[in-house]
Amino acid sequence: MRLGVNVDHIATIREARKTYEPDPVAAAILADLAGANGIVSHLREDRRHIHDTDLRRLRETVKSFLNMEMGATDEMVKIAIKTKPDMVTLVPEKREELTTEGGLDVINQKDHLKDVIFRLKEAGIKVSIFADPDIQQIKECSRIDADYIEIHTGHYANAKTDSELIEELERIKEAAIYGEKLGLGVSAGHGLNYHNVKEIVAIEEIEELNIGHSIIGRASLVGIDKAVKDMLKLMER
Ligand code: PXP
């Protein structure tokens, strides 16, 4: 199982003082040396953490796998085509949200997304869609030619009761099985941490996890090397 480490939170700390440190590119190098399989970074419309120059420098530096999260806007498509990350993950984006709040509504914007995916794939970039564990949405991801789905695990991570947790886990599992059946690559992410990741690792169809907050949070106390290695250990199958 592969691990993509999201380094946006390093840039969030930098932006707290609008200075030059800590550098998300340095974090990406350390995560890579610790054994991460790739780096994830979200260039938001408001540039609240990662800036265009960070993304450019990440592309020059990350030789493993660079996954650029972005909204499906014309501005971002142009930046992606110029930057050439290995993969783009299309996410919904709201200015007022603290973090991505849910999967992309593919059904209601399929024509637009199909065009975005076509343009990105023509530039040699793989495309993943951040999707809720919803069979209809996943079916649509396949119809519009996505390569991957990233199943949104946020509701699982936020479950308040055992029954809610089991229900969410079941939805994720069904979505992963369905996605794989359709020939999509299947990854998962959002809200995963050192306490809740095991149950997701147990779902065989999920090939990759993208994790940010919990790894960078732990890294602030014990360093990136240990934080990444601790997570990789929990992801051993
Ligand atoms: N995957 C996607 C699509 C996301 O938007 C995010 C948050 O940036 C993550 C994974 C990582 O989530 P977290 O920071 O909660 O681990």
pLDDT at 216: 98
Percent of the chain with pLDDT over 70: 99
pLDDT at 101: 73
pLDDT band at residue 102, thresholds of 50, 70 and 90? confident
Ligand 1: atom nearest CA of 210 is 10
Which is it for strands 66-70 and 185-189: parallel, antiparallel or unpaired?
unpaired
Q: Write the secondary structure of 60-88 as one string of H (helix), E (strand) and C (coil).
A: HHCCCCEEEEECCCHHHHHHHHHHCCCEE
**pLDDT tens per residue across span 90-99:** 999 876 777 7
pLDDT at 98: 73
Q: Is 112 a catalytic residue?
A: no
Q: Does the beta carbon of 89 sit less than 6 angstroms from any atom of ligand 1?
A: yes
**pTM, entire model:** 0.97
The Cα–Cα gap between 143 and 172 comes to 20
Two tokens at 27? 């974090």
pLDDT at 93: 86
Region 157-161: mean pLDDT is 97
The Cα–Cα gap between 88 and 130 comes to 10
Averaged pLDDT score across all residues of the chain:
97
- Residues 17, 45 contacting (CB under 8 angstroms): no
Domain 2-234 has CATH 3.20.20.70: yes
**pLDDT tens per residue across span 41-82:** 999 999 999 999 999 999 999 999 999 999 999 999 999 999
The Cα–Cα gap between 17 and 162 comes to 40
The Cα–Cα gap between 117 and 183 comes to 16
Region 198-205: mean pLDDT is 98
Contacts of 122 (CB under 8 A, 6+ apart): none
Report how far ligand 1's centroid is from the alpha carbon of 100 (Å). 7
Report how far ligand 1's centroid is from the alpha carbon of 103 (Å). 11
Torsion 76-77-78-80 (CA) sign: positive
Apex CA 86: angle with CA 42 and CA 157, to 5°? Answer: 45
pLDDT at 175: 98
Report how far ligand 1's centroid is from the alpha carbon of 141 (Å). 19
Sketch the domain layout of the chain as residue ranges. 2-234
Count other C-beta atoms under 10 Å from residue 237's C-beta: 6
Percent of the chain with pLDDT over 90: 95
pLDDT band at residue 186, thresholds of 50, 70 and 90? very high
Region 174-187: mean pLDDT is 98
